[in-house]
Amino acid sequence: MSEPILSIRGLTKTYRGGTRALDAVDLDIHAGEIFALLGPNGAGKTTLIGAVCGLVRPSGGTITAFGHDLARDWRRARARIGLVPQELATDMFETVWRAVAYSQGLFGKPYDPARLEEILKGLSLWDKKDAQIRALSGGMKRRVLIAKALAHEPELLFLDEPTAGVDVELRKGMWDQIAALKQRGVTIILTTHYIEEAELMADRVGIIEGGRIRMVDEKRAMMERLGTTEAVIDLAAPLGEIPPALAGFALELSQAGTRLTYRGGNGEGRGRAEVAQLAQALTRAGIAFTSLDIHDSSLEDIFVGLLGKQAQEAA
C-alpha cells in the first residue's frame, strides 16, 4: 500500500475538566480513499478531525500530513486540507459567491472566478450565487460549506456529518458529489451517523469509541470477517428438538418448536449458501416449512454488535 498522506500516532486529547476525548489514537489514511469514521455520540470523531484541522490542540502524539508535521509545518499541511464542519457555521448575511471567494483567498489561492463557477455549478448552487446564505434551505447551506471547503482545491477533505439533517433525495445527491470528488483524486474522511452511507461509500471503515480506535479495516474485509446471515424458517408442524439430520447447521429452535433460526456464515455469501443447503436438508428430512426469511447483516449490525460487545466487556 502507498505511503499514508495522513499519519496519526499516539494522538491524545484531554479537555480541561479531565475528559479524555482521544486516547492514543493511531490512524493512517491513504491517498484517494474514502475513509468512514464511525462511532456513537461523544466517541471522539469531531475532536479527531479538529486536531488534524487545527481547531483542537492535542495533548500528546503526532500528526503528519503530506509528510509535514502539523505541529511545526502546519501552513503547508493545512493548505492541502479542507474541512466541512458538522454545524452550519457560516456568515449568513454574505452571498454565496463572496463566501466561497473568501475561502479561496483565505487559503492563499488567487481569485479564480472560473474555478468558483465550476464548484458552484457542480454543487447546483450556481443559480443561488448572489443570494444571501440565510435565504437558502438547510441542504443548500450545507452545500455552501462544501463549496467553501473545495475552494482551495484540497487533496484531503474532512466531511463531519455531511448529510446530517438532509432529506433522503438530497443525501443521495451528496453521495454522488462525494463520489465525484473521489474520482478527481480527493481523499475523503467522513464521519456519519448514517451507517448506510459508510457502507455505500467507504473503502475503509474505522470504529472509534471512548476516544479509542477500536477497529480499522477495509469495509469488505470487515463485513467478511464480522458479517453473518440470519435465516428464519417457520415450520408447518412443530418439532420437539432439532433432528440429527440438521445437526451440522447453527440452528436454534423457538416459538414452541415452530421456528428454526439459522445464524452463521460471513459477509461474503457463505451464510446464504448454507441456508440453501439447510433448505435442501429440511426437504430431504421431510420437514415442511411455510416461510423462509433471509437477512444478511449490514455494517450497522456489525457496528452495533461490536459496540454492544465492548460495552459488555467493559461492564
Binding footprint of other proteins on the chain (CB under 8 A):
15, 50, 53-57, 74-76, 78-79, 81, 83, 85, 87, 89-91, 93-94, 98, 102-110, 148
Whether the CB-CB separation of 25 and 213 falls below 8 Å is answered with: yes
Shortest distance, CB of residue 147 to other proteins, whole angstroms? 12
Q: How far apart are CA 101 and CA 62, in angstroms?
A: 32
For other proteins, which is the closer residue by CB, 87 or 127? 87
For other proteins, which is the closer residue by CB, 69 or 203? 69
Shortest distance, CB of residue 219 to other proteins, whole angstroms? 28
Shortest distance, CB of residue 155 to other proteins, whole angstroms? 13
Shortest distance, CB of residue 21 to other proteins, whole angstroms? 9
Shortest distance, CB of residue 34 to other proteins, whole angstroms? 20
Distance of CA 133 to the CA centre of its chain: 28
Q: Specify the amino acid at residue 130.
A: D
Distances (CA, A) of 33 to 48, 155, 287: 18, 11, 49
For other proteins, which is the closer residue by CB, 52 or 235? 52
Shortest distance, CB of residue 70 to other proteins, whole angstroms? 11
For other proteins, which is the closer residue by CB, 181 or 302? 181
Q: At what angle do helices 299-314 and 219-226 cross, to 10 degrees?
A: 60
Q: What share of the chain is helix, strand, coil (3-state, %, to 5)?
A: 40, 30, 35
For other proteins, which is the closer residue by CB, 16 or 284? 16
Whether the CB-CB separation of 178 and 122 falls below 8 Å is answered with: no
Question: How many Cα atoms are found within 13 Å in the side-chain-facing hemisphere of 77?
Answer: 19
For other proteins, which is the closer residue by CB, 46 or 297? 46
Shortest distance, CB of residue 26 to other proteins, whole angstroms? 22
Give Cβ neighbours of residue 6 (< 8 Å, ≥ 6 apart): 27, 28, 29, 52, 63, 64, 65, 66, 156, 187, 189
Query: CA torsion, points 70, 76, 81, 84, in degrees to nearest 10?
Result: 80
Give residue 256's region: left, alpha or beta (phi > 0; psi -120 to 50). Answer: left
Shortest distance, CB of residue 80 to other proteins, whole angstroms? 9
Sign of the alpha-carbon dihedral angle for 36, 41, 47, 50: positive
Q: Specify the amino acid at residue 51.
A: A
For other proteins, which is the closer residue by CB, 52 or 195? 52
For other proteins, which is the closer residue by CB, 81 or 166? 81
